[in-house]
Amino acid sequence: MQPACLDLPIIPGATNRKPLYLLQPRWERRAISEVQKTPSLLLAVPGHDLPAEWPCWVEGVSGFTALNRQPPQQAPWMVGVVDAYTVEINALNGAEQNARGGWLVYQPGVDLADATAALTLTGPGYSLQLTTANGGLLVLGVGRVNIVLTPEQSTAIPLDGVTYTLDITWQNGDVDRWLDGPVTVRRGGGHGCCT
């Protein structure tokens, strides 16, 4: 399996909680039975099977082209689960739209119930391993992992030359490298960018 490459941005001196979504390679498509005219866009998608907030795409909706996103070329919507039949895209206002049809598209999450995970950061003269055992990784459910870095850990990360890997060890002993990439430590500080 080829690991996905993803930047890991870090704010030094802060508690960093970074959600990761571990996705299976197969795609699921569920028919949208209704696009509701609600300010926070609600989609009726019976049997969607989403476990919680999840990255999803929408294909083939007519009358609201801004809703459609082509997987995997375009970024997904973060879709919230209202109930077993309804999902929400809070970033879109559907109040004045006359949309219909289409498909909710997503990749199911990886079942981590019998697996362990380790996120390792390495660089010149630097190493840190975060695991479920040491509290650095929290499994939040199917396909959902949170990275947790303390202020002390985030301050100690060198500004340049650090990379990370996320390895999953399955119950049978197999190890898959799921993610890797550069660690980007934000330089500077303060809140001067928001006035």
Domain chopping of the chain, boundaries: 4-22+111-185, 28-106
**Number of Cβ atoms within 10 Å of the Cβ of 186:** 13
Looking at domain 4-22+111-185, its CATH architecture is Sandwich (2.60)
The pLDDT assigned to 176 comes to 93
Strands 8-10 and 175-185: parallel
Residue 63 has pLDDT above 80, yes or no: yes
Amino acid at 129: Q
Lookup result for tokens 């907030």: 53
pLDDT of residue 5: 87
33 or 190: whose pLDDT is higher?
A: 33
pLDDT at 126: 96
User: Cα(77)–Cα(58) distance, rounded to whole angstroms?
Assistant: 8
pLDDT above 70 coverage of the chain, percent: 95
CATH architecture of 28-106: Beta Barrel (2.40)
pTM (predicted TM-score): 0.83
Question: pLDDT tens, 154-195?
Answer: 999 999 999 999 999 999 999 999 999 999 998 755 444 444
Read off the pLDDT of residues 181-192 as tens digits, 9 standing for 90 and up.
999 998 755 444
pLDDT digits (tens, 9 = 90+) for 78-88: 999 999 999 99
pLDDT digits (tens, 9 = 90+) for 9-29: 999 999 999 999 999 999 999
